[in-house]
Structure 1
Amino acid sequence: MNANELTIAAARDALRKREISAVDLTMACLTAIDAGDALNAFVHKTPEIALDQARAADERLKGEAPDLCGIPLGIKDLFCTKGVPSQAASGILKGFKPEYESTVTSKLFDAGAVMLGKLNMDEFAMGSSNETSVYGNAVNPWKVDDRKLTPGGSSGGSAAAVAADLCLGATGTDTGGSIRQPAAFTGITGIKPTYGRVSRWGIVAFASSLDQAGPMTKSVRDAAILLQAMSGHDPKDSTSADIPVPDFEAALTGDIRGKKIGIPKEYRMDGMPAEIDALWAQGIAMMKDAGAEIVDISLPHTKYALPTYYVIAPAEASSNLARYDGVRYGHRAKLAAGDGITDMYEKTRAEGFGPEVQRRIMVGTYVLSAGFYDAYYNRARKVRALIKRDFEQVFAAGVDAILTPATPSSAFGLGEMANADPVEMYLNDVFTVTVNLAGLPGVSVPVGLDSKGLPLGLQLIGRPWDEAGLLNHAHVLERAAGFVAKPAKWW
């Protein structure tokens, strides 16, 4: 086994036993990254920073050191990293190198983690297939025919890099499923924490009431270790919760006897592929075998989740993205003689934003405009409150976690959705958006392969602030499923 194939937990132990140095571990990843250019996962490589951090980690490991000390990670391009390009995969931020470090990356570096580079993603995190990136498509390491498959989105580069063993773990962000859907498409674990558990400061904003950062890893234990380091109160983020962070790894007891797992009837969608349905049934049986009680539940407002999300998210995006005007940072269009400030705004934004981002800004501006504010945005806010209440009632009735599919299909081919109605693409988020609208924690765990040999995941949704319990449920599911498949190396 090459060092880059280790899990975070295994590498942590090997580093402490002096079986490997942080520099050797980092070199193994840097070599894998250079050999993995066909995946287009890493878009800004930072080998010098990585090796400096690895050398510092080796010094630190001579004494007491945190769990992540010496662990090489990939960082999604949405996180601002000081002096390193942070473009949110958009042309409008070309050349932008922040003068500051996001809270999450600061926490990771304080814990001794090593940054290998920045990872590909959908532009401004808007997309479900990593096809809206200014860097070009990220490619799924899983391949079953001559097509190149999507790794999912928006955290597609993070998912591809972890699945292909280019890094030991990665940061992702999730606004409507952007950690969980790519994790399911690439056979890895991804958790979106409760809204407010992880600071959003220094992460380029898409929809501020929905965005949450989280870990993407090779196992549930790794997700617990990485989430621990990312979490915590941050006074710089007014939505960050001042709630103690439990020891997530210690919570992985593997015992869920007597716990209630809810199965929502509304998630049995019309036209759901038989394989997804069968996988779900398998997951239910696994939880039952582990001693959990399976209860049928109803989340009646689920059917309104997608339209609600696609009103609220673009509305917040149109407001957040108004700051990209060519004045202060990033790209500025070349102007003709006689062009005024309005021309500069219009030309800069037309050149800098890709079509999907433009589409969502326009939808968002429309639903916030005077004549339509009540009809769309206010109504969506009310429905969001009802979706949240559905979950609150289920948890109040004693349900500990909810088990659902993670995605409506396995990974599809890059370019296959290109001419489809955009709504077709938005349907990829059908199982995941409710969790963001309600601010709940959700985790995707790889459970099996479809008939083509592509990974499929199941999603567990937890009570607010109960990532510890949620990860333990995920740990049980992971152990029962015994998913160990890896993509055959073709890149």
Structure 2
Amino acid sequence: MTDLTTLGIAAIRDGVRDGQFKAREVAEAFNAKVAGADALNAFLVKTPEHALAAADAADAARAAGETLKPLAGVPIGMKDLFATKGVATTAASKILEGFVPPYESTVSQNLWNAGAGMLGKLNLDQFAMGSSNETSAFGNVISPWRRPNDTAPLAPGGSSGGSSTAVSAGLAPGATGTDTGGSIRQPAAFTGISGIKPTYGRCSRWGTIAFASSLDQAGPMARDVRDCAIMLEAMAGFDAKDATSLKLDVPNWEAALSTDLKGKKVGVPKEYRVDGMPGEIEALWQQGIDWLRDAGAEIVEVSLPHTKYALPAYYIIAPAEASSNLARYDGVRYGLRDLPEGAGLQDMYAATRAAGFGDEVKRRILIGTYVLSAGFYDAYYTQAQKVRTLIARDFERAFGECDVLLTPTAPSAAFALGEKQADPLAMYLNDVFTVPASLAGLPAMSVPGGLDKDGLPLGLQIIGKPLDEQGVLNAGLAIEQRAGFTARPQAWW
């Protein structure tokens, strides 16, 4: 019989529905694989019983002749940024160690309502702040990929590094991620999988631990474009509990998938050709252009003149919102409390935050508090918001000339853990291609396009108009079919 852990979401769903295998067999196979992969450190909490209970419900429904739910029999990984009722949720931070929510996030509840089961909670950069999964308080996630003849552990990308490693290593057919400035797309590119950040507001933020509220957006990470479409359909939808949620019907993205791009125009932004870009990234980008032309699209050059200001604007806006959002962690109501003997309230706040927050989180809180302070608010925060408006306007103009944009996802393949940790600016530059779409709230997706000289995955990014996830998915599928990317990491763990 086929190793069930080699199957993606669509194959598992259809196999359970057609009676080729039982949902319980799938859950048991993935549970066993998760149990044997501790070396990757992808899971913070394992929940095999949750996966088995959902599987048994799917098998019982099929035996009773009932119509199966959209994700019946599909076990997934849940990024530990989503509150899960009765299951520890920490955002990979010591300050939330031991916190067990009495409620369920809307995104995770939507997935359980669709029949999915949970294999466990996935590791991430602390509070989703990072691009390499080295800021987790519970240890680095290790990429399943390695350079040939080199055992140096590689970064799985971040912040959704546990999600990207779990999917790439075959520990889960799909996983949830969140994307604030590229945290779904960059790790997907690093590990040779697909991931989509939908339009801001498509997925509810309720019950998702906040980093930067005007940017955070949940999305799926899976082995291919179809699986992302299936999972996104289950995750998305209006939620009255989230003021930024879009009151729109969820399209049937899977049914409308098409690789025929005749009549479509693909924009290539000239400003994304940055200095020092590796030749391999440039060559892959050109290959992607050729693939989309082959799919029937017309290629046009477009200009996004304010792109060069996107990264500095992002690293003002996101930390500013983080400093506000993370003020709630004070040692009073939940999570860690560090109360030195004879300490007053302010001392407790300071001690708790000093012990509970990691260095990167502290760095961003300090930056954010600084740019929001009375003397600097107008000079930094107000200016950054104006730049954000100009960036959104650039995209609007560009989409007057094209339907989607094609860019690289990241400026390099995965780097070794520790390689950029000492230089925050070098780490922040990983988001240079992903941040602009986040600032504008646009749907954007990474699909694997090929391998670099060391045999490591490289991704291509498609950016779409607001609410045009379908256009993004279709262009992604056109690339996927032509790239024929089937490379998988060799198991060493």
Scaled by the length of structure 1, the TM-score of the pair is 0.99
Q: CA deviation at 1:418?
A: 2.4
Distance apart, 1:60 and its partner CA: 2.2
In structure 1, the residue corresponding to 2:266 is in which secondary structure?
A: strand
**2:107 equivalent to 1:104:** yes
**Aligned: 1:185 with 2:190:** yes
Please give the alpha-carbon distance, in whole angstroms, between the structure 2 residues aligned to 1:415 and 1:382. Answer: 35
- Distance, in Å, in 1 between the alignment partners of 2:83 and 2:14 is 30
Does 2:206 correspond to 1:205?
A: no
Q: For residues 386 and 354 of structure 1, what CA distance do their matches in structure 2 show?
A: 33
Structure 2 residue corresponding to 1:363, chosen from 359, 367, 377: 367
Per the alignment, residue 320 of structure 2 pairs with 315
For 2:411, what is the secondary structure of its paired residue? coil
Q: Could you say which residue in structure 2 is the equivalent of 1:55?
A: 56
Contact 1:199/1:240 (CA < 8 Å) preserved in 2? yes
Runs of 4+ aligned residues of structure 1 deviating over 2 Å after TM superposition are none
Match of 1:15 in 2: 16
What residue in structure 2 maps to residue 167 of structure 1?
172
1:375 matches 2:379: yes
Partner of residue 2, structure 1: 3
Aligned-pair distance for 1:470? 1.1
Question: Aligned to 2:430, what secondary structure does the other structure show?
Answer: helix
Quick check: 1:247–1:468 contact (8 Å CA) kept in 2?
no
Match of 2:468 among 441, 462, 466: 466
Q: How does 1:81-120 map to 2 (within 5 A)?
A: 81-120=84-123
- SS in structure 2 at match of 1:43: strand
Q: RMSD over aligned Cα, in angstroms?
A: 0.7
Is the CA contact 1:76–1:170 (under 8 Å) kept in the aligned structure 2? Answer: yes
Counterpart code for 1:232: G
* Unpaired segments ≥5 residues, structure 1: none
Paired residues in the alignment total 488
Residue 262 in structure 1 maps to residue 267 in structure 2? yes
What one-letter code is carried by the residue in structure 2 that aligns with 1:98? P
Query: Partners in 1 of 2:377 and 2:390 — Cα distance?
Result: 19
Secondary structure of 1:61's aligned partner: helix
Note the alpha carbon deviations across 1:347-379, whole angstroms, 9 max, x for none. Answer: 000000000000000000000000000000000
Which secondary structure state, in structure 2, belongs to the residue aligned with residue 130 of structure 1?
Answer: coil
Match of 1:440 in 2: 442
1:245 aligned partner: 250
Kindly indicate whether the alpha-carbon contact (under 8 Å) linking 1:61 and 1:69 is maintained by their aligned counterparts in 2: no
In structure 1, what is the equivalent of residue 391 of structure 2?
387
Q: Which amino acid aligns with 1:262?
A: G
After TM superposition, the score normalised by the length of structure 2 is 0.98
Cα displacement (A) at 1:67 = 2.1
Residue type at the aligned position of 1:70: G
Query: Is the contact made by 1:251 and 1:469 (CA closer than 8 Å) also made in structure 2?
Result: no
Q: Counterpart in 2 of 1:452?
A: 454
Please give the alpha-carbon distance, in whole angstroms, between the structure 2 residues aligned to 1:242 and 1:61: 33
Matched, 1:276 2:268: no
* Kept in 1: contact 2:86–2:100 (CA 8 A): yes
Question: Which residue identity does 2:328 align to in structure 1?
Answer: R
Match of 2:83 in 1: 80
Shift, 1:43, TM fit: 1.0
- Name the structure 2 match of 1:403: 406
What is the CA-CA distance between 1:49 and the residue it aligns to? 1.9
Distance 1:406 1:61 in 2: 41
State the Cα deviation string for residues 327-366 of structure 1 (Å, max 9, x = none). 00000003212x1000000000000000000000000000
Q: Determine if the alignment matches structure 1 residue 430 to structure 2 residue 432.
A: yes
Q: Which residue of 2 aligns with 1:329?
A: 334
Residue type of the partner of 2:260?
Answer: D
Q: 1:297-308, aligned counterparts within 5 Å?
A: 297-308=302-313
Q: Equivalents in 2 of 1:52, 1:446: separation in Å?
A: 33
Matched residue, 1:138: 141
Task: Report if aligned partners of 2:237, 2:246 keep a CA contact under 8 Å in 1.
Answer: yes
Q: Distance in 2 between matches of 1:86 and 1:468?
A: 32
CA distance in 2 between counterparts of 1:58 and 1:266 reads 52
Cα drift, residue 396 of structure 1: 2.3
Q: Is the 8 A contact 2:421 2:427 kept in 1?
A: no
1: distance between equivalents of 2:62 and 2:241? 30
Match for 1:281: what amino acid?
Answer: Q
Any residues of structure 2 matched to 1:349-360 within 5 Å, and which? 349-360=353-364
Task: Give distance in 1, aligned partners of 2:304 and 2:69.
Answer: 41
Partner Cα distance (2:163, 2:145) in 1: 14
1:481 Cα offset (Å)? 0.6
Separation in 1 of the partners of 2:436 and 2:201? Answer: 16
Kept in 1: contact 2:54–2:72 (CA 8 A)? no
| 1:429 Cα deviation after fit | 0.2
Q: Whole-Å Cα distance in 2 between the matches of residues 396 and 262 of structure 1?
A: 10
Task: Give the CA deviation at 1:52.
Answer: 1.5
Query: Is this contact kept in 2: 1:191–1:215, CA < 8 A?
Result: yes
Structure 2 distance, partners of 1:357, 1:320, is 12
- Describe the superposition over 1:394-444 as per-residue Cα deviations: whole angstroms up to 9, x where unpaired: 1123x110000000000000111122x211100000000001100000000
* TM-superposed deviation, 1:66: 2.1
The separation in 2 between residues aligned to 1:115 and 1:334, in whole angstroms, is 36
Cα shift at 1:99:
0.2
Letter of the 2:82 counterpart: F
